Every structure is written in structure tokens, then in C-alpha cells.
Structure 1
Amino acid sequence: MTQLLQVEQLSAGYGDAVVLHDVSLSLAEGQTLALLGRNGVGKTTFMDTLAGATRQHVGRITLGGVALHSLPSHARAAAGIGWVPQERNIFKSLTVDENLTAVTRPGAWTPQRAYEMFPRLAERKGNLGTQLSGGEQQMLAVARALVLNPKLLLLDEPLEGLAPIIVEELLRAIARITREEGLSAIIVEQHPQAILAISHQAVVLDHGTVVHASDADTLRQDPELLDRLLGVSRH
């Protein structure tokens, strides 16, 4: 199986504050990684670091053989990163269609395919970002990342604060994008069982370090271990 992402001995944070310490992990092409942990343990910092939005102190990040850590943030989309941060970062003053066409890069994922994946967006093509519900904004954020035609999709808490019916819709779409379409992804989520069910690998962070790495099914089928890992606290 071909390795897509390789992270080696990564330390990073914001300014002089180091949040991640000596993090190493890898992800093969076509695989999904569930990145788990309690609040404030470094999950979002890890995603931000892949996208180039933090200060990297030590370590290497390679994506498809490209040295990602040496690229500025604006060049990482071209290198293959599709990032959906917690803030969603859609253009709220543009229509749904303008949001997609403004960032589209050549490849299999076109705005039309995104509309097929998210029919709600197709119905709201002419609506401004401000006229969308929170769930629709999240769908648009994912669709915007898809039309970049990335090699790796980063989803930072995509289900946060959404109504249960929207959570189910998004989970189905994410499962289709990753499992059926074969797009590699890293997903940070506070609903571990839901994400482990559609992931291949699992990594748990605590205090900015990796405390567990396994295949997702192993962790999902051991709720006692999962509870212990997500409740872990070292002082």
C-alpha cells in the first residue's frame, strides 16, 4: 500500500508556545484516519500544522513525496491539501455557486459532482453564504475542499453543533467520499464511535503526543480502552 502522508517527529504550535511534541504518523493512499483525544490536546493544532497555519519548530511532513513543511500555507492546496477548519471559512458574501467556482481546480471533483453529493446545496446555488443554515455551511465547506481535488482531506470537527439529521447526512457523505471514492482523509471529531466506524486507522493524542495508534476497528470494538484513552490525564 502506497504511503501518502508521512509525519516525522513533528513539534509545532503558535508563536513560541509548543503544542505538539514529537508526533509521528503515516497514512496510506485511500485510507481514513480518525484523530481523537480530549479537548485541548492538540488535535486542531495538528490539522492547522498540516495546512500551514501554525509555527512548525521541528520535524518533517511529506505528502505524496512533496515536502509539505517547506511550503507556505497558500501553496499547500496546490500540493494536495483540502482543509475544512472548524470556522468553515466559506465566503459568506458570495453565493453557493460562486463559493465553489472561485476555488475549483482541475480534476474529478467538479461543482456538479459536489452538488450530487450534497443535494441541499444544489437547491441553494443562488443563496449567499449568510443565508445558509449551519449544516448547509458545513456542507459547503466540505464541497469547497472537494473541488480543490485534494489528495488529502482534513476535516476538523465537521459534525460539531449540527442537528442530528444533518449529522447523519454529513456522515453518509463523508463515508461515500472516503470509503467509496477512495479519498484519503484525517477526521477530528468528538463523536469517536461515529468516525471510527468509517475510518481505517485511529490515533489518540494527549498533551500534544501520540498515546495510541491502531486500526480503527480494534479501538471501536474496545469501548473500555476508548473511554480510558479519551479520559486520560497525565500531570
Structure 2
Amino acid sequence: MSELLNLQQVSAGYGDAIVISKVDLRLQTGESLAVLGRNGTGKTTLLNTIIGVTRHRGGTIALTGKDLTGARPDKRALAGIGWVPQERNIFKSLTVEENLTAVARPGPWTPARAYEMFPRLKERRSNMGNQLSGGEQQMLAIARALVLNPKLMLLDEPTEGLAPIIIEELLAALKRIIRDEGMSAIVVEQHAQKILGVTDSAIILDRGTIVHAGSSRSLIENPAPLEQHLGVTAKKKPRQAASR
């Protein structure tokens, strides 16, 4: 696999505040990464820095070897970065169909293929964005990012505020997109144990720095870092009854 994303000693924030500090991060083509951490540790700021909407305070950012450190957000999008923000930012005054066709670029992901991934959207293709449920709006936000045919997708809290059944549906779709379709992705997610089953690797942020990095499988098998940095308690295995 070739290197897709490379962050070297990146520091960034908002105004005079530095939120992430000297972050080193590499992602290979076809690889997926979970970004974990408590609230306020810099997870969203990391994505915003890759997109280019924070104040750069040091380091370099490259995509497929191209330096994007000083590039505007629109140039980064054209270079192949797709973004699904917490706010979803769909066009609420347009139909589902119009939301997709308005931004679609040539490539394997077409509106028709997005409908195959999210059948609910096909059923509601004539509905306006503001007529969709929260879960459907999130599906539309992901589908809209897909039809841009990005090299890398960034997803910020894609399951936030959604009902458990919708969370399971979205995670299943993300698993197909990432695992089966090979989409490179970075996912910020609060449901650590669930997203680790989707991604290849994971990092944990604390106070704007990476305090743990490794494979998702290793965190599933040894959740001590999750307990230490996120307060996530691993599920205990049921005790076997003593033999008589």
C-alpha cells in the first residue's frame, strides 16, 4: 500500500489557543483509523486541521505526497478529502436527489450506488432535506461525501445523537464502505468499542497529543488504554460455574 496521508509535527488551534500539538500521523491507502478520546481532547480539531479550517501553528500536512499545509479548504477538497461534519451540513432546502447530484463527481460512487448503500435514501429521494429524520440526514451526509469520490473520508461523530437501532445501521454501512469497498477513512467516534470493529487502527488523544496508537484489534483484545484514557470499562467475561 502507498502512503495516503502524512502529518508531521502538526500543531493547530483557534485564535491564540493551540489545541493539538506536534501530532505525527500516517495513513496508508485503503486504511481506516479511529480517533478516540474524551470530550475536549482535540479530536474534532484534528479533523478540522486536515480540512484546513483551523489556525496552523506548525508542522506539515501531505496527501498522496502533495503538500497541503498552506492550501485552502476548497483546494484540499479538490485534492481528495471528503468531510462529514458533526453538523451534517446537508442542503435542507433541496431534495435528497438534488443533494447528491449537485456535488457528484466522476468516479465509482454514483447517486445510484449511494442509494444501494442506503435504501432509506432511495425511498425518500424526493423528500427535502429538512423532512428527513436525524439518522436519514446523517446517511445523506455520508452519501454526499461518497459521491464526491474522495481519496480520504473524514467523519466526525457520525453516530452522535442517534437512536441505537440507527447507530447499528450506520455502523454496518460504514463497515461495508470501509472494509468491503476499501475506502480510506478517519472516524472520530464516542462509541469506542463499536467503531474499533470497523477500523484497522486507532489513536487516543489527550490534551491535544497522541497518547496511544496501535491496531484496533489490539485495543479490543487489551482495552487497558481505553480504561485509562477514556474511562471505558471492558465487559467482563461471565464466570464459569465451579464443577462439582
TM over 0.5: yes
Distance in 1 between the 2:110 and 2:24 partners?
33
SS of match in other structure, 2:77: helix
Distance in 2 between the 1:167 and 1:184 partners?
20
Q: Which residue of 1 aligns with 2:73?
A: 73
The CA deviation string for residues 168-197 of structure 1, in whole angstroms up to 9 with x for no partner, is: 111111000010000100000000011111
Distance in 1 between the 2:101 and 2:50 partners?
24
RMSD: 1.1
- Does structure 1 conserve the Cα–Cα contact (< 8 Å) formed by 2:82 and 2:152? yes
Query: Which 4+ residue blocks in structure 1 deviate beyond 3 angstroms?
Result: none
The CA deviation string for residues 24-60 of structure 1, in whole angstroms up to 9 with x for no partner, is: 1101111110100000000000011111111111111
Of 219-228 and 192-201, more deviation after overlay is shown by: 219-228
Per the TM alignment, residue 74 of structure 1 is displaced from its structure 2 partner at its CA by 1.2
- Does structure 1 conserve the Cα–Cα contact (< 8 Å) formed by 2:212 and 2:225? no
Per the TM alignment, residue 76 of structure 1 is displaced from its structure 2 partner at its CA by 1.3
SS of match in other structure, 2:69: helix
Structure 1: any 5+ residue segments left out of the alignment? none
The structure with the largest alpha-carbon Rg is 2
Structure 2: any 5+ residue segments left out of the alignment? 233-244
Distance in 1 between the 2:69 and 2:224 partners?
36
Of 64-73 and 24-33, more deviation after overlay is shown by: 64-73
1:145 aligns with 2:145: yes
Q: Which residue of 2 aligns with 1:175?
A: 175
1:143 partner letter? A
The CA deviation string for residues 190-222 of structure 1, in whole angstroms up to 9 with x for no partner, is: 000111111111111000001011111101111
Q: Which residue of 1 aligns with 2:56?
A: 56
Distance in 2 between the 1:193 and 1:222 partners?
11
Distance in 1 between the 2:113 and 2:66 partners?
28
Aligned residue-pair number: 232
Q: Which residue of 2 aligns with 1:136?
A: 136
Aligned-pair identity (%): 64
2:94 partner letter? L
Structure 1 segment 1-235 matched on structure 2, within 5 A? 1-231=1-231
Distance in 1 between the 2:137 and 2:152 partners?
21
- Does structure 2 conserve the Cα–Cα contact (< 8 Å) formed by 1:220 and 1:226? no
1:55 partner letter? R
2:203 partner letter? V
Distance in 1 between the 2:223 and 2:76 partners?
36
Distance in 2 between the 1:74 and 1:224 partners?
40
Of 27-36 and 59-68, more deviation after overlay is shown by: 59-68
SS of match in other structure, 2:22: strand
Distance in 2 between the 1:3 and 1:175 partners?
22
